[in-house]
Structure 1
Amino acid sequence: MAPAMASNVTPSSSSSFDLIQYAVHEGHGVKGISELGLKALPEQYIQPIDERIDMKTVVEEHFIPIIDMSNLDDDRPDVADLICDAAERWGFFQVINHGVPIKVLEDVKNAAYRFFELPAEEKKKHSKDNSPTNNVRFGTSFMPDAEKALEWKDYLSLFYVSQEEADSDWPSACKNEVMEFVKSSDGLIKNLLKTLAKRLNVKEIDEEKEKLFMGSKRINMNYYPKCPNPELTIGVGRHSDVSTLTVLLQDQVGGLYVRKLDSSDGWIHVPPINGAIVINIGDALQIMSNGRYRSVEHRVAANGTENRISVPIFVNPRPNDVIGPLSEVIENGEVAIYKQVLYSDYVKHFFRKAHDGKGTVEYAKI
């Protein structure tokens, strides 16, 4: 059915219109569904009540730390302590004066909108069924085949292997801006990892340690279109990242919520700050720190009035690396609470199922 005809489709009368085929397999995504003019959320996207975002659980008086990075190069111990304390107590923080030019941030946000504005047939060229490489993937939701209810999100995922492959395979609508964001963030990432490693008794990050911490990178461009019933669905479900660190650029719309550590139901909104970058600890660093640094559940709300984009860089070990508590962490007799795990096996476990909070970390426990 053509989009012009589909404007009269409602969840209760859509038996002749296959939304999954339209969104997932034809490449229209939830952006296409959003533009059909539906008055009610399709039932495939209605989340169970316990997975929806209840604003009564949002802790308004708490804010994740905002850290000025401008003095870190002066070996300011107070700035280093703020970073490490945030990694231990919150798992999330925002950084300002981080060294990534504002123009780079604005350019990559504009590139994200430019890619998602492409016709469905262009985006579909990068889907699971059509992409010439597993390192470039356009899709919608998270794992449609495994989810009981779909998430209200489209994405483009780019696994960085080399400049040559990026030039060859990444979509021309965004590849230059994404690559510039990756390159410009490298110094920030290294400074954060150096600072966090010191508290773990890692005196120096040599070449091998650097590869373990940041040997691979995956960049996502996420698009959350306007939703007819945002209170009934989610943009992204409860999860923690499988990365070492995640470096996240969000636009000014807002919608990212982080679970308050040691709270069963308290959530904190991460307010957009112009020019800031959100940093969060991933599962890999939680495992390597033996639980000292903690990855934290987070999720994204749907929005009823505005489109939203975000661009995370997932900084990861290499697929063939084995992760476990660092020897420097447990050399003084600290008991390891995680086993040694092949990182590619850990990632595969994460992607075999729908989002389930911190279920993947449990897979790595002894």
Structure 2
Amino acid sequence: MASPISISNSNSLNILDFAVNKGHGVKGLAELGLKTLPSEYIQPPQERIDTSIKHAHLNSIPLIDMSKCEDPEVAEAICNAAQKWGFFQIVNHGVPMHVLKDVKDATHGFFGLPAEEKLKYSKERSVTNNARYGTSFTPEAKKALEWKDYLGLFFVSDEEAASLWPPICRNQALEYIKSSEMVVKKLLEILMNGLNVKEIDEIKESMLMGSKRINLNYYPKCPNPELTVGVGRHSDVSTLTILFQDDIGGLYVRNTETMKWIHVRPISGSLVINVGDALQIMSNGKYKSVEHRVSANGSHNRISIPIFVNPKASDVIGPLPEVLQSGDKPVYKHVLYSDYVKHFFRKAHDGKATIEFAKA
């Protein structure tokens, strides 16, 4: 490991080249022993996160026990959470604890690989678009970079994953995706019932959960964490996102009523569920995708592992007919899902701005 250096005397270090092009990521920067945060990562004051708010607001997103998911009160709690919060945590969800531990360990394993091994999965070198290693979010579009490295894995088939995903984490990532399928289906069944959709036929199933992507996210220990973010303000473009986070914490959700940021306290063995833009569009705004972001941490390395449950790229999404039966006017137009996703990824994180792309 290199000896500790300070940005003030390391002008020869090209941060973007080192972190992005050479594949070291922010993990590599952290391991240089930097004493101060590189200027490329310093966020504007309005985007920084006051982590003291995790103590200031003791209320948090709803916690729901899925062991009683056939109980009408549980279904009502899920629908209410999707409407009011856009986020909730679930326990007794049926995903085995050993599966969560294995995918957590595999995430640490991948990011512990040498830079040249991780770089094989970079945008420029990966043999497939469905396995992508990177750092920050669209670095070419960012005014300030985010303190995060990630591996994105888009699921096509077991066969493709076996041949193209990194061997150190592919089996564990696949097992997590498969183990979560039952609870995803149950949640979507409940949420659709809340929209008077009584049957999820083949067409609706494709729109709701036709594709899946898993991200392995790594947030290294950061100098000056108060000056940057792990992830900036955004809402997901998914139908639902299922997140497993370790016990470090750092996820913040904006309460749509108070507009205050709420820290999502990690609960051992739980999964965090959030509504994505696609479900907000299909529900005509009844279910809310909400802004969330992630803080940097000055004392711990942190991982989080979301599964994004999405429409297929070729699906055209818009308000479901059942939602408009009562005479409500459509808030959103019909859009090709791949166009919506491209719009999201071609710009920096900008809160809820992406949803405007689908406004009627």
1:112 is matched with which residue? 107
**Residues 344-355 of structure 1: matches in 2 within 5 Å?**
344-355=338-349
1:267 aligns with 2:261: yes
Offset of 1:362 from its aligned partner? 1.1
Matches within 5 A, 1:214-233: 214-233=209-228
Q: Match of 2:325?
A: 331
State yes or no: 1:66 paired with 2:83. no
2:198 to 194, 203, 209: 203
| TM-superposition CA deviations, 1:293-330 (whole Å, max 9, x none) | 00010000000000000000000000010011001100
Within 1, Cα distance between the matches of 2:172 and 2:226? 33
Deviation of 1:259 (Å)? 0.3
The AA in structure 2 aligned to 1:77 is P
Picking from 11, 19, 31, the partner of 2:7 is: 11
Q: Distance in 2 between matches of 1:232 and 1:124?
A: 28
1:319 aligns with 2:316: no
Deviations for 1:243-282, whole angstroms, at most 9, x for unmatched residues?
Answer: 0000000000000000011334x10000111100000000
Give the conservation status (yes or no) of the 8 Å contact 2:53–2:263. Answer: no
1:178-189 alignment runs, 5 A limit: 178-189=173-184
- Which residue of the partner structure matches residue 100 of structure 1? 95
Q: Secondary structure at the match of 2:206?
A: helix
Residue 297 (structure 1) aligns with = 291
Shift, 1:49, TM fit: 0.3
Provide the C-alpha distance between the structure 2 equivalents of 1:64 and 1:262, rounded to a whole number of angstroms. 13
Which residue of 20, 32, 37 corresponds with 1:36? 32
For the 8 Å contact 1:10–1:42, the answer to whether it is kept is no
CA distance in 2, matches of 1:97, 1:297: 26
User: What amino acid does structure 1 have at the position aligned with 2:43?
Assistant: Q
Give me the whole-angstrom Cα distance separating, in 1, the residues matched to 2:330 and 2:106: 44
Q: Distance in 1 between matches of 2:108 and 2:58?
A: 33
Match of 1:162 in 2: 157
State which drifts further: 57-66 or 266-275.
Answer: 57-66
Distance apart, 1:351 and its partner CA: 0.3
Q: Secondary structure of the equivalent of 2:153?
A: strand
For 2:344 and 2:141, how far apart are their aligned partners in 1?
A: 12
Q: CA deviation at 1:57?
A: 5.3
TM-score (norm 1): 0.96
Residue 358 of structure 1 aligns with which residue?
352
Structure 1 CA distance for aligned equivalents of residues 25 and 221 of structure 2: 12
What's 1:81 paired with? 76
* Counterpart in the other structure of 1:129: 124
Match for residue 245 of structure 2 among 244, 247, 250 = 250
CA contact 1:31–1:154 (8 Å) conserved in 2: yes
In the TM superposition, residue 15 of structure 1 has moved relative to its aligned partner by 2.3
Distance in 2 between residues matched to 1:203 and 1:322, nearest whole Å: 21
Provide the residue aligned with 1:341 in structure 2. Answer: 335
Closer, same or farther: CA 303–55 of 1 in aligned 2, 3 Å: closer
DSSP-derived class of the 1:310 partner: strand
Matched, 1:306 2:300: yes
Task: Please give the secondary structure, in 1, of the residue aligned with 2:93.
Answer: coil
Equivalence for 1:287: 281
Distance in 2, matches of 1:137 and 1:201, equals 38
Is the CA contact (8 Å cut-off) linking 1:45 and 1:150 kept in structure 2?
Answer: yes
SS at match of 2:140: coil
Please, which runs of 5 or more residues in structure 1 have no aligned partner?
A: none
% identical equivalent positions? 64
- The answer to whether residue 169 in structure 2 is matched with residue 174 in structure 1 is yes
Structure 1 stretches (4+) deviating beyond 6 angstroms? none
* 2:155 partner amino acid: Y
Q: What's the CA shift string for 1:1-24, capped at 9, x where partnerless?
A: xx62xx454222332111110100
> What is the alpha-carbon distance in structure 1 between the residues aligned to residue 274 and residue 101 of structure 2?
21
Instruction: Say which SS state the counterpart of residue 145 (structure 1) adopts.
Output: helix
Within-5 A mapping of 1:50-61: 50-55=46-51, 60-61=57-58
Q: Which residue of the partner structure matches residue 46 of structure 1?
A: 42
C-alpha separation in 2, matches of 1:300 and 1:8: 26
TM-score calculated relative to the size of structure 2: 0.98
1:191 paired with 2:183, answer no
Q: Secondary structure at the match of 2:166?
A: coil
Distance (Å, rounded) in 2 between the aligned partners of 1:11 and 1:347 = 36
Q: Which amino acid aligns with 1:66?
A: L
Distance in 2 of aligned mates of 1:31 and 1:307? 9
